[in-house]
Amino acid sequence: MTELSTTTPLPRRTLAEQMAASLTEAIIAGQFAPGEALPTEPELAEQFGVSRAVVRDATRMLVARGLVDAQHGRGVFVTDSPIAPFGDALLLALRRTGATAWDVERFNQMVLPDVMAEATRQATEEDLNEIRRLADAYKTIFNTVTRRTWDQTDPPSQDQEISMAAFRSFYRAIFMATHNALWSLLIDPLLRLRMPRSWDSSNLTVDEFIDHENRLIDAWVAAIVGRDPDQARSAAAELVSLPPEAETAMRATPVGEIPQIPVTLPPSSAI
């Protein structure tokens, strides 16, 4: 067995780093509940035996980790989850590398079949009922929003966001049904990256457009509630397949923006 050299010095941590590490462990252990305020700056300085400048440095580290939110004049509060800042940071990192909507889409194509297959194995009856409920809720919202905005050349962004929020809830439920802790944490950052697509619907009626989306969502649900992992994997691979025109449009669209796809909705396309 290879032994570490005892002459290799371990990196020393500053007082702020030691304090941030201690507070991080306290938050992870549940000593501070989400939404709860940390002790005040003077109280922390006294408790840890450090200066208030050290407390401020440690607080900045916790903010950077997404563990707390410093609110001017009110205090420092434990966040519900550090995932939202991670999602924002991931989007920014992808934009800096010149990533496109296709990078996100291709990742989704590789991941979703296995996620859906795992959901068929791990989902409880409560999970399946929730997936059905959220699917129906999304279809209702999509129907309402689509009919309201069908003839508008520039529909309000809030209408699109309402529809996307309902879709994300449905999509999230599928990932949560895997009962995998990593997927449960990653799904929100992944959804942060996934934007809707704008298809050419000029040759479709509003009823045809809505019916297409309903059939798509119903196929997703059927693939999971069927409890057949192989069938779910195959169905998911077909559901996320896209025509070459869509790939071309997505490769030309920066990540975080809506791709304009110059073809009518294909049978297996997602929103």
User: Is it the case that residue 271 has pLDDT exceeding 90?
Assistant: no
Burial 241-260 (b: 16+ CB within 10 A, else e): ebeeebbebbeebebbeebe
Q: Mean per-residue pLDDT for 175-196?
A: 92
CB atoms within 10 A of CB 266: 14
- Written as six digits, the tokens of 178 are 């895997």
Of 5-9, 155-159, 247-251, the least confident: 5-9
Dihedral of CA atoms 204, 206, 207, 213 in degrees, nearest 10, equals 80
Of 36-50, 114-128, 150-164, 184-198, the least confident: 150-164
What mean pLDDT value characterizes the chain? 89
Q: Which pLDDT score, from 0 to 100, does residue 30 have?
A: 87
- Written as six digits, the tokens of 115 are 């996620």
| Segment 23-58, tens digit of pLDDT | 999 988 889 988 999 999 999 999 999 999 999 999
The Cα-based distances of 210 to 126, 139, 207, 227 in angstroms read 28, 8, 5, 27
Total-model pTM? 0.76
Helices 52-64, 41-48: axis angle to 10 degrees equals: 110
User: Is it the case that residue 200 has pLDDT exceeding 50?
Assistant: yes
Q: Which pLDDT score, from 0 to 100, does residue 4 have?
A: 46
| Segment 74-121, tens digit of pLDDT | 999 998 876 777 888 899 999 999 999 999 999 999 999 999 999 999
- Cα–Cα distance between 260 and 179 in angstroms, integer? 35
Q: How confident is the model at residue 266 (pLDDT cuts 50, 70, 90)?
A: low
User: Is it the case that residue 270 has pLDDT exceeding 50?
Assistant: no
Q: For residue 83, what are the contacts with CB-CB under 8 A and spacing of at least 6?
A: 66, 185, 188, 189
The Cα-based distances of 79 to 58, 84, 152 in angstroms read 16, 10, 39
Q: Which pLDDT score, from 0 to 100, does residue 114 have?
A: 96
Whether residue 243 contacts residue 263, with contact meaning beta carbons closer than 8 Å, is answered with: yes
User: Is it the case that residue 199 has pLDDT exceeding 90?
Assistant: no
